[in-house]
Amino acid sequence: MATRLRSEFMSALNLVLFGPPGSGKGTQAELLRDRLGFVHYSTGEVFRDHISRKTPVGVAVEQYVVSGGLVPDETVMAVVSAFLTDHAGRSIVFDGFPRTIPQAAGLDKVLAERSAAVDVAVLVDLSDDEAVRRLTSRRQCRRCAKIYNLSFSPPREAGKCDDCGGELYQRRDDSEAVIRDRLGVYHSQTRPLIEFYEAQARLTRIDGALGRDRVFEVLSELVDGLKGR
Ligand code: ADP
């Protein structure tokens, strides 16, 4: 038993997915969870949940999330540290975190304190025009958070989630003006992560325009390679 637990612990991976809003990282993270057993950790989802429950964190972050700005690094790091404490030893896909250099350095630090590290940081890249096109037709389930796109992955029944029957809605930050602001924030704050992870030799780039299934194939091969190290 001890040996089995030890080997499971040793094979736990920490995978960072980053890229512009609309690049499909949330969808890929869902696939990594459903097909490869990762814990899907989306800071955006965590904040939306706090906002809908009107918790103190939700009240503090709402203004940033609704306007497309970034939640302050200290708030984000406090939420992430608590999450890591609860999920020690599991393979995790970080979706939408880190989003700034201080967050990336903070993640390295909290993982190192747990004798772990980021195994790979994957940039899912996409042009701004394609991101806007995708996000304006994005819809999400209010109940289970599954993501749909009215153009290329619509639900079977309009307005209703295929999986749980929940109501589909458009995120408040998916209007064109807010999307443009989020892209601006992405270019100035998050794209510098490319050099950060390149300097650590941990960066892999995938073309987000390849489509959901092809992107997932590339990711699965990457995960297989890391597990076989
Ligand atoms: P997307 O990647 O599609 O823009 P997310 O669901 O990842 O959407 O994030 C939605 C919003 O939540 C962001 O615009 C930002 O306000 C906030 N947020 C999420 N993750 C972070 C983070 N790591 N740092 C700061 N703010 C964040």
The string of DSSP letters for 6-43 reads HHHHHT--EEEEE-STTSSHHHHHHHHHHHH-PEEEEH
Q: Of 134, 138, 139, 146, which is the active-site residue?
A: 138
Could you tell me the sign of the dihedral formed by the alpha carbons of 15, 143, 210, 135, in that order?
negative
Lowest mean pLDDT segment, chosen from 1-10, 83-92, 112-121, 179-188 = 1-10
- For ligand 1, atom 3, which residue shows the shortest CA distance? 21
Backbone angles phi, psi at 67, to 5 degrees: -90, -5
Q: Which of 93-97, 98-102, 147-151, 161-165 has the weakest average pLDDT? A: 147-151
Q: Is the CB of 29 under 6 A from ligand 1?
A: no
Work out the pLDDT band at 227, boundaries 50, 70, 90: confident
Q: What is the pLDDT of residue 4?
A: 42
**pTM reported for the whole predicted model:** 0.88
- Cβ of 96 less than 6 Å from ligand 1: yes
172 has catalytic annotation: no
Report the C-alpha gap between 162 and 2 in whole angstroms: 41
Residue type, 183: L
- 109 is a catalytic site residue: no
Q: Which residue has the least CA distance to atom 18 on ligand 1?
A: 44
Write down the pLDDT at residue 2: 41
Residue 170, pLDDT score: 94
Which atom of ligand 1 has the smallest separation from the CA of 47? Answer: 12
Give me the mean pLDDT over the 191-204 stretch: 98
> CB of 70 closer than 6 A to ligand 1?
yes
